[in-house]
Amino acid sequence: MTVEYQFPEGFWWGSAASATQMEGSRNGVSGETIWDHWFENEPNRFFDGVGPHQTSDFYNRYKEDIRNMKKIGHNTFRLSLSWARLIPGGQGEVNQEAVSFYSDVIDELLAHDIEPFVNLFHFDMPIEMQNKGGWESREVIAAYVDYAKIAFDLFGDRVKTWFTFNEPIVPVEGGYLYDFHYPNVVDARRAIQVAYHTMIAHAKVVEFYHQEQDGKIGIVLNLTPSYPRSQNPADLKASHICDLFFNRSFLDPAVKGEYPEDLISLLEEHGHLPETQPEDKDLLKNHIVDLLGVNYYQPRRVKAKDHLPNPYSPFMPDWFFDNYEMPGRKMNPYRGWEIYEKGIYDIMINLRDNYGNIESFISENGMGVQDEDRFLKDGRIEDDYRIDFISGHLKWLHKAAQEGCNVKGYHLWTFMDNWSWMNAYKNRYGFYSVDIETGERTAKKSASWFADVSKQNGFNA
């Protein structure tokens, strides 16, 4: 049988998850993260008052979960290590129970011919490190580099694909601009320092990895194309500035080893350049990534400002553009996000043409839906909407691959329903549903569909 959308040989089919969202912080020995701390202090800010303590119980059920991954054709899986679990407090003694757990997970994945992709940081700062200033602090950067060295030493013999950060702009936006992550600061100057120091921490870890290890190391960025309302110069300028803040502030230093001059000039003009050290420039320039993970969920549509910003309000990226709701856009009403499949192609073409066609893959793409039990039929959730979502994006990814983009794989967010930060279990994303009360896993229709895609290394429309 001919497969209409055939992907390159050796394509990575799999999914992604994070430690905090699936392990359960009360399982085993673990230090406290900012999420544990925030939930204890403000549980009202979490959907249905559900915190990170239990989540999806991967900690105790990982063997079952990995068997299920194999069943649906995974050949790769991205997970994260919890810094606070491996080194409670962020510095000092290594937790041997955590070493055993992560080692067993890696071995189990390999035993099922699933290559582990391991990420070092996914929003889960140890609270002790946050109390020292988090990414505002060079001391915390040093502690993170030490943690990375320990992780490489413990697991680098079996893990050959590493990532320093997942979506590093999200703690900047959530924690220091828009008040949806701890420490709930609204201060652009501090936000910019956090963003800058995150990339210094990243480059230091890349430097060490290339000296000591023989695999590949990259970063995972949520790239969100900034589409202008029109070709009017004012709209084009708005989308350009939006792109500088939300995409290129991490993409350029990670892949090119330098920041865009336009961004530097803009921050300088408004007195918001971060504090730097003389050696930083060479550090960034000489330690770029081997591989780029791309998380894509939605586009960003912007237009020129309708009104001048309040000069007495906090400095924000939003001073330079307004968000724009395109008439007729397709929506995921549960998440409030636009569905725009072509965005995945536009990202890949940009990487091909402007970023040296760096080796990349879709490290997250997914659709969160509320009350999925509505679609239960004969014991299975018939999530045709998710199949349509994935296949729509894969068609555009296939086109990008056909046109010479160096795209290596596709990972769904996520393998099984998991805890989603402040949203907890409000929206479900998984190939497998998880009963929060019993922990029981049940394959959705999308799981069997994805198994066929992986087996054929492609699909028919």
Cis omega (within 30 of 0) on the bond before 161? no
**Pairing relationship of beta strands 300-303 and 291-295 according to DSSP bridges:** unpaired
Asked if residue 433 lies in contact with residue 381, where contact means CB atoms within 8 angstroms, the answer is yes
Dihedral angle computed from the Cα positions of residues 190, 191, 195 and 197, in that order, rounded to the nearest 10 degrees: 20
> Which residue, among 81, 71, 35, has the nearest Cα to 54 in the 3D structure?
35
Rounded Cα–Cα distance for residues 162 and 214 (Å)? 11
Cβ–Cβ < 8 Å for 154, 99? yes
Token pair of 242 as six digits: 């939006």
Which two tokens mark 160? 């050959």
Tokens standing for 337? Answer: 């996000």
Length of the chain: 461
User: 363 — phi, psi (to 5°)?
Assistant: -95, -15
State how far the Cα of 430 lies from the Cα of 444, in Å rounded to an integer: 8
Sequence-separated (6 or more) residues with CB below 8 Å from residue 55: 20, 21, 22, 23, 24, 25, 418, 419
User: Residue 267 corresponds to which amino acid?
Assistant: L
Note the Cα 448 to chain centre separation in Å: 25
268 is catalytic: no
* Cα 144 → chain centroid: 18
Measured between alpha carbons, how far is 406 from 10 in angstroms, rounded to an integer?
13
Give the three-class secondary structure for 325: coil
**What gap in Å lies between CA 365 and CA 412, rounded to an integer?**
5
174 CB neighbour count, 10 Å cutoff? 20
What ranges make up the beta strands (E) of 167-241? 216-222, 226-228
> Ramachandran region of residue 245, left (φ > 0), alpha (ψ -120 to 50) or beta?
alpha
Catalytic residue among 338, 364, 372, 403: 364
Are 56 and 416 contacting, i.e. CB atoms less than 8 angstroms apart?
yes
Instruction: Give the catalytic positions in this structure.
Output: 364
